[in-house]
Each structure stands twice: as C-alpha cells, then as structure tokens.
C-alpha cells in the first residue's frame, strides 16, 4: 500500500511572496522596535539627568518684591557685582546682602565672574551697583531694584537688575534669577539668560 504525503503543499509563488514581502516587513518591524527601545532608554536617561539637575537646586525657594522707594536701602551690606562677558555682557547683576542677618548671597557661578566688598554702607553700595549694571552694555535703559525676602518675609538683601531697550533683543528684561536658602544661611542665586535672547545670538552667529 502506497503511503500518502499528508503535508500541505505550498505553491512556489507563495514562497516567493513570503520571502520578498513578509520577510522585509519583519525586518522593518524589528528595526522600528529597536529604534523605539533606543528612544525609550534615552528618555529614561534624560529624565534621570533632569532629576539630578533639579536636585542640585535644593533648599527653600525665596521670593523677591519690587522696591518702590530706594531710600529704604540703608544699613551695612556685602556688595556683590556679577558679570559675564558672553552675550554682550547681558548676564550682569548687582546684589546687596544685608549684614547681620545670618544670610549670605552667593551667585551660582565661578568665583572669577563676581567681586565682593564687605561692610559697605547702603548709601554707597547702591549707587555703585547701579553704575555697574549700567556700564556693561550700550543698550542699557534703566535698572530694576527688587528686595530679597527670607522665608518669613523679612528683607535680607537687594537685587539690582539691568533692563534694556526692547528693540535690541526683543524684550527689556533678559534674565531669570532664582533664590534658594541652603544650610548655613547661604542664599544661592541661579542665573540664566532668556532662551529667546540666546536664540537671537545663535541666529546672528549663523549668518
């Protein structure tokens, strides 16, 4: 008795179809999965970096308020004058840290970007800071003075910030500052330039 071959017969045309159509699609799917896996790993990595960066800005966030009358600036201060030469010296600020409060203002930048003078009377420290922030850029318009408050709302210092003619950089106030109270009474100041202003310089350099 002759045995029968029960295996299903596959036409050669179907074999060609599978090899030429399905196989490449499978390879494409695997490639897509690899890309997605890589993107997922990168996303996790970036989230970790951002978490570390946020953790660096520790401490208690402090707030500032506009000063209505600069005659309130009296007493003895530590005068801090900060400026970086990049971006037309737009990253320029003056700080007055009120002495006797137990707090000390420190910009979060390398030491060589700022100078410090201690035991300076407010009647001298404020005009010096005002002249300093107005001397670094020809598009300087005026200064904005804000008081820095401790966690209970008591003034512990002042920020003197330069404002510029809007036609020069698209906006008048080009800086962002954040204040954090750290252990030991250190008031850490984080300073950055507005992103639109950075884009302005990047575009200008690309011409």
pLDDT tens per residue, range 50-87: 344 444 557 999 999 999 999 999 999 999 999 998 88
DSSP state of 22: I
Q: Cβ distance 94 to 204 under 8 Å?
A: no
Q: Cβ distance 116 to 189 under 8 Å?
A: no
Write the pLDDT tens digit of every residue in 163-178.
Answer: 999 999 999 999 999 9
β-bridge pairing 186-193 and 175-182: antiparallel
pTM of the model: 0.71
Task: Check pLDDT > 80 for residue 1.
Answer: no
Higher pLDDT, 13 or 86: 86
Write the pLDDT tens digit of every residue in 20-56.
Answer: 554 555 454 344 345 444 444 444 343 443 344 444 5
């Amino acid at each position: 008795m002759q045995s029968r071959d029960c295996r299903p017969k596959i036409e050669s045309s179907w074999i060609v179809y599978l090899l030429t159509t399905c196989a490449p699609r499978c390879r494409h799917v695997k490639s897509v999965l690899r890309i997605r896996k890589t993107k997922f790993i990168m996303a996790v990595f970036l989230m970790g970096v951002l978490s570390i960066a946020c953790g660096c800005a520790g401490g208690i966030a402090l707030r500032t308020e506009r000063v209505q009358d600069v005659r309130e600036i009296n007493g003895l201060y530590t005068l801090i004058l900060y400026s970086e030469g990049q971006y037309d010296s737009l990253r320029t600020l003056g700080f007055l840290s009120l002495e006797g409060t137990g707090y000390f203002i420190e910009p979060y930048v390398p030491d060589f970007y700022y100078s410090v003078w201690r035991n300076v009377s407010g009647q001298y420290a404020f005009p010096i800071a005002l002249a300093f922030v107005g001397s670094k850029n020809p598009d300087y318009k005026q200064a904005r003075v804000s008081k820095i408050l401790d966690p209970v709302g008591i003034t512990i210092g002042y920020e003197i910030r330069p404002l510029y003619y809007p036609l020069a950089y698209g906006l008048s106030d080009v800086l962002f500052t954040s204040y954090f109270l750290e252990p030991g009474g250190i008031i850490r100041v984080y300073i950055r330039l507005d992103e639109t202003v950075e884009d302005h310089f990047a575009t200008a350099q690309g011409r």
